Structure 1
Amino acid sequence: MRNSSDIAARIQQSLHRPPTSVPMLFPRILKRMLALWPGIRATAVKTRKVYLKGNTRIHLDHVVGLGNYMELEIVLGPNDRHEDGITQAKTIMEELGIPRNALESQAYVNLLEKRDSLHK
Structure 2
Amino acid sequence: MPTNIEIKARVKNLELLLEKARSISGSQGTRLEQEDVFFNSPNGRLKLRIENEGASGKLIYYTRNDISGPKQSDYTYTIVQNPKDLKETLRLALGVRGIVKKVRQLFMVGQTRVHVDSVEGLGNFMELEVCMRKGQEMSEGTAIAEELMKDLGISDSDLVVCAYMDLLDAKNNKN
**Which bracket does the TM-score occupy, shorter chain normalised?**
0.7 to 0.9
2:41 match:
none
Say which structure is richer in helix: 1
Residues 1-41 of structure 1 deviation map (CA, whole Å, 9 limit, x = unaligned): 11131212221233233586753253430221220332111
For 2:106 and 2:122, the matched residues in 1 are separated by: 19
1:14 match:
24
- Picking from 125, 138, 143, the partner of 1:82 is 138
- Picking from 40, 65, 69, the partner of 2:125 is 69
* Paired residues of 2:18 and 2:116 also in contact (CA < 8 A): yes
Residues 75-98 of structure 1 deviation map (CA, whole Å, 9 limit, x = unaligned): 121121000000110001111111
- Picking from 90, 95, 99, the partner of 1:43 is 99
Say which structure is richer in strand: 2
Structure ID, larger Rg = 1
2:114 match:
58
1:107 match:
163
For 2:31 and 2:100, the matched residues in 1 are separated by: 22
- After TM superposition, the structure 1 stretch with the greater mean CA deviation from structure 2, 18-27 or 71-80, is 18-27
Query: TM-score normalised to the size of structure 2?
Result: 0.62
Query: TM-score normalised to the size of structure 1?
Result: 0.87
* Paired residues of 2:149 and 2:155 also in contact (CA < 8 A): yes
Let me know the Cα RMSD of the aligned residues.
2.0
Structure 1's 73 and 30: CA in aligned 2 closer, same or farther, altered over 3 A?
A: same
Residues 34-56 of structure 1 deviation map (CA, whole Å, 9 limit, x = unaligned): 20332111111111121001111
User: Unaligned regions of 5+ residues in structure 2, if any?
Assistant: 1-8, 33-50, 57-80
CA drift at 1:64: 0.3
Corresponding residue SS for 1:44: strand
Identity of aligned residues (%): 29
For 2:158 and 2:100, the matched residues in 1 are separated by: 20
For 1:28 and 1:35, the matched residues in 2 are separated by: 11
* Paired residues of 2:121 and 2:168 also in contact (CA < 8 A): yes
Residues 96-115 of structure 1 deviation map (CA, whole Å, 9 limit, x = unaligned): 11101211111111111110
- Picking from 2, 9, 23, the partner of 2:10 is 2
Runs of 4 or more off by more than 6 Å in structure 1? none
For 1:62 and 1:115, the matched residues in 2 are separated by: 16
